[in-house]
Structure 1
Amino acid sequence: MTTVLLVFMVISSITLIGSVLLQEGSSAGMGSAISGGAEGLFGKKKAHGMQGLLNKITLVSAVVFFISIFVFNLLAK
């Protein structure tokens, strides 16, 4: 069981690193980063195309990574 969790952790961490590195950077400054975060939170700004796909991949791989770490920690005790 722990081997399966370790495989999930490695795959999800590599996917997470790759998806974050492939996303476009925000070069507009701190002011637009705060307002852009608020727009993204309330759904006014939806990413389309490749950026939307990368956002979903990042979210799924982060969730899989944290759940696998949590379960691995429970099994290790």
Structure 2
Amino acid sequence: MRFNIGQTVIEQLKQIHTKIYLNNEWIGEKHFTERGIPVVSFPLKHSLSGPVEVRIESSPGYTAPGDERTLGVAIFGLGFQ
């Protein structure tokens, strides 16, 4: 997964914690404290085939200036190898 951790997000929140699930099974988590576009890999316990449901939980939520919504972490890319 490639995340987008922006400067304003880190300035406002100081940190972001994410949890990643595939088909409702926890596969890993990552804690971010610096801005950047990190690539993070999570090894799978077993192979998967067919459609896969991905759930990404992040906390705390981020509210961008001028936007009342509470947003999660930004994702630049997601793939399987």
Same fold by TM-score greater than 0.5:
no
- Please state which structure has a larger fraction of its residues in strand: 2
Task: Quickly name the TM-score band, shorter chain normalised.
Answer: under 0.3
Higher RCO structure, 1 or 2 (CA under 8 Å, sep 6+): 1
User: Could you say which structure has the higher helix fraction?
Assistant: 1
TM-score by structure 1 length?
A: 0.26
